[in-house]
Each structure stands twice: as structure tokens, then as C-alpha cells.
Structure 1
């Protein structure tokens, strides 16, 4: 295990990556605040020396001016014209502490501002990365992993920054107090420095232990989030079949692990907190005893040094406390930083060419694709062309590669060899947004948001398109998807809330709402991946009519197992184990002897 103290510059560098030099402003303000308080404490020295000598007379003043710090303080008072004024000295002390308070408030307030900025910037930046990450990286992780990072771990990383900022503040204070103690009574200051070094050594192993717990806590949070999301998404199935117990055992184990880490971290923090005052008092008493009994030092500088040393030792113990607090959350900061590094590696690669509206064809040229280098190709040497404003069907048994082919056309995946050409431009040269904005995509898994029906159709259209025009577009899309009659029969109409993932709607209603959204977008390419699989026969016929009405107006790609839905397409492409094995018109392929498509049609008794 590496020494956490040695890793402090590494952690500061991570924070600086996201905050820049702004974070050091906190330390500068803390330094000024510490100096102001130190000056205020030093102002007590002449008063105490006067009491120690038993007089505030000129003799006392000369004694006060005789050497060291006292001489400098006396000169300062003389310059201000208050060398013989107790009230004036008290006013200076008060002003010093007021100034210190103002600077401390500035440091704490600016630290709070930076924490807010860090939270805003990290969450916003990570979500932007998530929006543009490769589909391959997304599919290699679970939903709980991503939610844990952006929701939980960034917040905990913020707490780590807060503790680190406080650590910096206390470090500055400790240096100021101990340095002043050293100046007033150097033997006293030397002893104080030795105590500080001893404390760092004593707490070293405890810090390493706390950091290890932090890393385990951050990892276990992600595991628990994954299990909870799975349990909630499958709530209906698990409850209806009384199969909650198995998943509950896994969740219980994860909760026990997580709370165990947190309890051990809390016990370590409790030990540090409880030990602070006894350690400070014991060491102060020892050093005072040595100063008075063995070294026979005068009382006045010792009293000032005690105050400075007590402040300094408390600051050093606070350093340990805040450093431990930073380490409690540092696993989260490490996890977040690692994720940003991975996201930079797995971001979608944008090409320079901004694509205009699709007006020629989509062509696949000797296309090969595999999900992993250790596995076989799932797309093998596919060559085909989809002319603009034609309707084509991709058919074949499950696992034939149809959905993967669509993912390549939408540029979600990059081929291992060959090219996807959109209007003659290779996919790697195309600006992704300019192509994907032209695509409407209806998948087997309905995508419905916990919001109103209207917002589910228009996807929270911006302010530039509000009012009657927007309402008309929403209603037209609903009519085309044959769901308008149902929506208008609801008490709240288009403002009806559909619930989480549309649970207040039937499967067919969710699918038609999904289709309405894609028709609202007026895409140039519409992809229907088993789009009617969840519909009843009547709804399927209605949607089929809508699709047929689009023929000749936009380009349509249909993936279908129910071959009755593709009778009117311009061309059928038949796939088997990732290879294109047949192509042609529906009736021609159906009636061709020994046709694979003909066998598929026959199996469905069409």
C-alpha cells in the first residue's frame, strides 16, 4: 500500500485538473487569516511581559524593547503612538482578530463556491461524455455503474475536495502558529515541531487503512446501485412470481458490506476526533514543564508560546482529521477520475463532413464486424445498397445479424473492415450528429419517459416551437401512429402522465407512442426494428397502413419476424449467420424454388 501522504500531490493534481488554479486561492486566503490571528496573539506579548515584571512603567517598556519579537512589537506600537496605551493595544488585538474572521469567511465562502462549481462542472461534463460514449463501452457496463458515478461518487468526490481544502487551511495555520511560537521561544517551537512530526508518523497506518476502506466503499456503492436498479425494473415480474428472495439475498450481502466499511471508517474518524484534545493537553503540559523547570525560561513568552503552540497543535491534529476525512472519500475521486480517463478513450469519433439530407443511397461495401477480437465475425462481407426513399426489409432467424447491421448503419459501431457509405461519404468521415438527426428508430424495447404524453412525443421541444404549431405537429404524429383516439379519450389528454417507463399504458400503447415520437421528428431514414411485435392485430394493421403511406417519401428499413408486415416493401434482404444470402422482391423470393425466404414464409403459414 502506498503512503497516502506521498500521494497528496497526485490528488491535488487531480483536483487541479478540474478546478485549475482557483483552488489555491483558498489556501492564500487561509494564509492571510492565519497571519492575522498570529499577529493578534503576538500583541498579547507586551501586556504579559508588563504583568510578568510587575510594572507597566518605563523600566518595563525598556525591558520589553530589549530583545527579539518584543522589540519589534514595541517599535510598532511606538510608530502607531500607542506604546503606553493599554486600550490602544487591545484595539489592535481586536482589529487583528476581526480581520482574521473576515479572511476566514472569505476562504470558507470561496471554498463553498468552488465546491458548487466542481459539482456542476463534473456532473455536466460526465453526462456530456456519457451522451457521446461508444455503444461498445456502454454495453460493457451496467446501468448501476453509470448512475453510481454521476449521482453518488461525484458528490462524495466533492466532499473529498472539501476536506482537502480544509486540510490546506489547517496546514497553513499550523505553519504560521508554529513558526511564531519558534520566533517567540525557539526551544518551545523546536519541541512543537518534533511533536508534529511524531503525530504524522503515528497516524500514517490509520490513514492508509481509511483510504483502503474508501476504495472498497466506492466500488460497493456501484454494485448495490446495479442490484437495486435490476430489482426495481423487474418489480412486477419478481412480485408476481414471488422470486424476490434470491435477489434480496444479494442486496442484503451488499448492504452489509457497505455499512461495514462505513462503520469502520466512522470508528477511525471517532478515534481521531477523541484523541485530539488529550494529545494536545499532554504535550503542552510536558513542554511547559520542560521550559519552566529545566530551561528556566521567563513566563511571558512561554504563555504566548503556549497559546500559539496550542493553536498550532490543534491545527496539526485538524490536519490529520481533515486528511482522514479526505481519504474517506478519496476512493470516489479516484473512481471519477478513472472514468473521465476511460471516457476520453471511448468517445464516439466524429468526422469532419456535415451531412446534408439523405438524397442518394446507403451502401454497405464488403462489411465485416465482430464484437470482440477473440470472437468470430457477426457480419461477414455484406454488400448491399438502399436507394433513397425506398422501403427495404431485413429478415432472417434470430442471431442472423440484422440488428447489428442497423447499428452499423446508424454508426453506433465501426466496422472492422469494409465501409458504410452515406450518399457516398464513408461513415468515419461523417459528423455523427448530422447523420443521426435524420434517423427515426423504433426498437423492440419501447423507450418511454416518465412525463406527459405530449413531451414523450415532442421530446421537450424547445421554446422556438411552442404554441399551436407544436400542438398540431404532436396531434398529427399521434394520428399517424393511430394512438390519437386513445389519447383524446383520457381526462388529461396529451398532458396525461404515463409513469415510469410508461407503466400506465399497455404494451401496444407504449409502442404506438414510441412510433408517434419518431414520426413527429419527420426523419429521412426510419428504422423499424420489430416495431409491431407488441401490437394487437388491429393496431398492427393500422401501423402497417402508416408505414405504407410513407413509401416513396422517406427511406424505411424494416426488421421483422412477422413477414406479413413486409409484403409491400421494395426489396427484401435475407440474412443467415451474418451473411447476405438472398435479395429481391417479396413475391419473387417467396415463389422461388428452394428459397430460404420461401421457407420462412411457409413456416409462418402465410
Structure 2
């Protein structure tokens, strides 16, 4: 598909306008006035050279009276009494180019300001959109896609805006130069216009090729980012088992494709840069010969025409080079644009009713859920209640749907049919944020940040080093999670940095740090999804005592394979293949004849 700059440039300008607003066009206004100032300076060469020519040969036949634009400028100067003042003309030329420099500085400075605003707008908006995207959309994309979009592709988009701004500025200059060329000598202007159009047509197919490469580079960058993220996450396993080599070949293949695209793009740019000056000089000399030999034009207009022609052709060739540079990054612009569109489409729905502190409880009424129609439902007609300030356990074999139920409780997922009620209000009517602020959630996969222990617990609620009240709350949560004794043995205590994903801690220590964070929040609902799976027996027993101590203070939902952790819950719900098959107290279910739960307890020899 060949691109059409007349159509594409306005399209991409509208894309950037949607981020920056109409203020971006001020750059082009600066450029227009700067080009006009330069044009005045160049045109003033006509009376200057004609005056010098007349002074050098007074009364000679070659010193013809000025005509056309030369006469207009001569009369204008005469009106101010400057028609015979060479110094005045020179000062006007100097003033015109000083004004051009000042206006060009204004255009470039405002362009830099807009780029900074664009970077903040794009990264800020995209991060906000990611924070509101639906979990289902997130689960369908790889991590590399999101990292690539918000980092690499936004950076490329910023560069594309810079080149596009240069491109439009060059178009403005070409229009000014062409108009002046017509004013000085319309035949010359027509020739310059024809040459410019021929050059653009000549490079059109090359530009289409560069844009196709840009789109491929944008996609390949995302693929490579995903491979690198997977490698870094699995680094310990891959190194320990010497399985880096198969992944290395895949990474090298991606790098090879990416560098190939970049090399071909660079060659296209080199070709454009290399042929520019020879074409400009050749075309200029041909037109000068036509002006002097064929059309018998006076010398002074020819000299001014040479300046205008060279400026016009040079800018036209710069335009082509800038257009190719714009297209080098246009794949990123399109990817970011499409990502914003996808986020609008897949934004998590939000209710309008704020959720006050949990007062009655949570109810599920005939809830069914499936991730995709092809795979069918993973939960079937589930109904049960979780009264406020009670503790319940969801048990069953792997794949029974327990973690899916936890995702429904946090409103991350929406039932395919049936209703989840929070204090009697349907979940889809609840403001998500107001409900989730009441939830503490501890999963099997620990979430630990590369920061201090204190910040991991309080989630940057303040400066724990300076705020003693905050530090006291952090320590209380650490004691409840039975990690305080370990923290206090560290040289820097609560200000110890734990490394990327807590790699300087053991698995059990990361899990207890995770639990401490959720206890710090003082939630109304605490969900423990296999929260003790990484803990040793003593830590598990100590944590169980902490959970038991919370009974009657908050609502606790425990998902567990190790049934020793749920002995003291108020109610147990047993699931099998997405169906609720048993419910009751721990003791009643354990002792009931033919109880599925009783068999699970017996298997663990409890």
C-alpha cells in the first residue's frame, strides 16, 4: 500500500492533536512567520543588487529600471526615503534574519515543551488505562506487550512527533519559497514546482517501504521484550538446569530480524541523503542555464532565483528525508494509538455506588462463570453466604474453581450468570475501588517490590524512617505476620532493601512480608489464597494463631490445600469440578459418613 502524504500527514497530526490539543499548531505558526521573515530578507536582495549594479555602471544599458517585484520593493523603499540607501536595505536584511532566528528559536523551544508534555501525557494516560483494564484482557496479552508499548513505543512515538513537526515546518518553508519564486520569476517558480513534485514521486515507493519496515520493527520490539522478560523471570531455573541455549536461539532470531529491519531502514535513509545534493545542484544549474540562455532573463533576478531555488530544492529533499524518518517510527504511533483504542474497549466496567465498610456480608446467588465459551464453565450454579466478621474456608482439589471464586469476590471477574451481592448490592453496581480498598489479598504468588521492607509493608503510605506512628503500625503488622523477629536481626532493619521481587529473601520470608502488608491495611475482608503454602510448619502454626486472633474482627476467606490451617473456621465449603458439593463446620464435615471433605482430611492424616 503506497502512502499519500497529503492524506497521511493530516491524519497523524490529528492523532497527536488528540493528545496535545490545538496548541501544537503554534509551532507551525512560529515557523510560518519565521519563513516569511526570511523571505523578506531574500527579496530585499533584489533592490540591494539592483542598486549595486546601477552604482557600478551608471547610464549603462545593463542598468535597467526595476520591474515586477523589484519595482514594488523600490517604490516601497522610496516611500520611506530609503530608495538610494544601501545601508538601510542591508539593515532590513539583517533585521529580517535576526527575526527569523528568534522565531525559529521560539518554534524549536515550544516543540521541546510539547515533546515533554506529550511524553507525560502518553505515559501517564497509558499507565492509568492499564490500571483500569479488565483482568480478562490483561490475561490474554503477554507482559512484553505492555512493557513495549509504555516504554519503547511511546519513546518512538515521541521521535515521530518531532520529525512530523519538522516535516510540517519544511512544508511551510517550501510553500513560502515557491510563492516567492513565482513572485520573482513565474517561469522559474513553475520549473521549481515541477522539479519538487518529480522528486516526491521518485521517493514515494521508498517511503512506503520504510513505513512497512517501521510496522514490523514495532511488532518485533514487543516480541523481543516478552522474550527478555520471560528469561529474566526464569533466570534461576534456566541457569541451574543449563537450558538457556534453546531460548538464546529464539532471542537471537528476534534480534536478527530487528537489526535487519533497522539496517534496511538505515540504507534507505542513506540513499536519500546521498542523492540529495547532486540532484539539487544539477537541477539548479539546468534551470539557471534555461533562465540565462533560453529566456534571456536579467542577471539580478537570476541570482535571487538561484537562492530561492536552492532553498526550495534543499528543503524538498530534507522533506523527503524527514518523511522517511517519520515513517521509521510511524509503526510506534499506530501501535500506541491502537493500544489506547484497545484500552477504551477493554476498560473494566465500574459501578456508581460506593461500598461502605462491610456490614452484612457477601452472598453468591446461582453464580456460573467461564473464561471462554469454548472451554465451558469452571463454576456451576454456586450459591452460599459469607456473613460479616466470620471465617470461611473454600477447599477442594486443584481445578475445583476456588481461586476463580476469589477473583469473583474481588470483582476482578464478573459472573456469566447469577449475582454476587455485597451487603445486598449487586457487584456490578459497586464502585470497584471503594470495595477493593477494604480487601486484603494474599495469593500463592508473592508480590514483593524492589524497595525497603517498611515500604513493602506500608506501600509508600509515608516515610517510615521519619514517621514513628507509621513505623509502629508497620512493626505491628510484621509481628502479626511473624516476620518481625527476622527483620530485627538485619543490620538496616525495616529499611533493608529486599531486591527485585524480594530475591534477597527466602520464599517463606517473602510470603510473610506479603501477609504483613495485607494486615497493615486493616481490611474488612481478608482473602488467603494458599497463603501458607511457602511457610514452614512453625511459621504456618504461628500465622494460624494470628488468623485465629482476627476472628470476629474481620471477614476471612481461606483457600487451602493444607487443611490444618482451617480447623477453626466458622464454615467450610467443599468444591469439586466447579460445583459446591458440601458445606458445614470442620468437625461435622470431617466426621460425616461418605463425606468428601472427610476423605480429604484422612488423606492428609489430620
Q: TM-score, normalised by structure 1?
A: 0.98
Tell me if the contact between 2:455 and 2:464 (Cα under 8 Å) persists in the aligned partners: no
Tell me if the contact between 2:132 and 2:348 (Cα under 8 Å) persists in the aligned partners: yes
RMSD: 1.6
Q: CA 1:314–1:587 in 2, change beyond 3 Å: closer, same or farther? A: same
How many pairs align? 605
1:112-511 alignment, distance < 5 Å: 112-462=112-462, 467-511=467-511
State the match for 2:16 in structure 1: 15
Cα displacement string for residues 189-227 of structure 1 (whole angstroms, at most 9, x for unaligned residues): 000000011011001000000000000000000000000
Tell me if the contact between 1:203 and 1:320 (Cα under 8 Å) persists in the aligned partners: yes
Q: Which runs of 4+ in 1 moved over 3 A?
A: 50-65, 462-466
Tell me if the contact between 1:64 and 1:70 (Cα under 8 Å) persists in the aligned partners: no
The 10-residue stretch of structure 1 (360-369 or 19-28) with the greater mean CA deviation from structure 2: 19-28
Q: Measure, in 2, the Cα distance between the counterparts of 1:324 and 1:528.
A: 55
DSSP 3-state at the match of 2:329 = helix
Tell me if the contact between 1:572 and 1:585 (Cα under 8 Å) persists in the aligned partners: yes
Q: Measure, in 2, the Cα distance between the counterparts of 1:462 and 1:346.
A: 33
Q: Tell whether 2:570 aligns with 1:570.
A: yes
Structure 2, unaligned runs of 5 or more: none
Tell me if the contact between 1:34 and 1:100 (Cα under 8 Å) persists in the aligned partners: yes
Tell me if the contact between 2:525 and 2:554 (Cα under 8 Å) persists in the aligned partners: yes
Tell me if the contact between 2:51 and 2:84 (Cα under 8 Å) persists in the aligned partners: no
Q: Measure, in 1, the Cα distance between the counterparts of 2:218 and 2:230.
A: 19
Tell me if the contact between 1:359 and 1:423 (Cα under 8 Å) persists in the aligned partners: yes
Q: Measure, in 2, the Cα distance between the counterparts of 1:235 and 1:270.
A: 40
State the match for 1:41 in structure 2: 42
Tell me if the contact between 2:453 and 2:495 (Cα under 8 Å) persists in the aligned partners: yes
DSSP 3-state at the match of 1:7 = helix
DSSP 3-state at the match of 2:376 = coil
State the match for 1:75 in structure 2: 75
* Superposed displacement of residue 4, structure 1: 4.2
* Superposed displacement of residue 51, structure 1: 4.1
State the match for 2:587 in structure 1: 587
Q: Measure, in 1, the Cα distance between the counterparts of 2:368 and 2:225.
A: 36
* Superposed displacement of residue 52, structure 1: 4.2
Q: Measure, in 2, the Cα distance between the counterparts of 1:80 and 1:521.
A: 79
Cα displacement string for residues 129-157 of structure 1 (whole angstroms, at most 9, x for unaligned residues): 01111000111111111001001100100
DSSP 3-state at the match of 2:473 = helix
DSSP 3-state at the match of 1:557 = strand
Q: Measure, in 2, the Cα distance between the counterparts of 1:137 and 1:526.
A: 26
The 10-residue stretch of structure 1 (157-166 or 1-10) with the greater mean CA deviation from structure 2: 1-10
Q: Measure, in 2, the Cα distance between the counterparts of 1:7 and 1:451.
A: 46
Cα displacement string for residues 218-243 of structure 1 (whole angstroms, at most 9, x for unaligned residues): 00000000000111111111111111
Tell me if the contact between 2:390 and 2:552 (Cα under 8 Å) persists in the aligned partners: yes
Tell me if the contact between 1:64 and 1:74 (Cα under 8 Å) persists in the aligned partners: no
* Superposed displacement of residue 373, structure 1: 2.2
The 10-residue stretch of structure 1 (128-137 or 463-472) with the greater mean CA deviation from structure 2: 463-472
* Superposed displacement of residue 463, structure 1: 6.8
* Superposed displacement of residue 375, structure 1: 2.2
Q: Measure, in 1, the Cα distance between the counterparts of 2:520 and 2:586.
A: 29
Tell me if the contact between 1:456 and 1:517 (Cα under 8 Å) persists in the aligned partners: yes
Q: TM-score, normalised by structure 2?
A: 0.98
Cα displacement string for residues 28-87 of structure 1 (whole angstroms, at most 9, x for unaligned residues): 11011111001101111112223445647699999444x210112112212332211111
Q: Measure, in 1, the Cα distance between the counterparts of 2:466 and 2:268.
A: 57
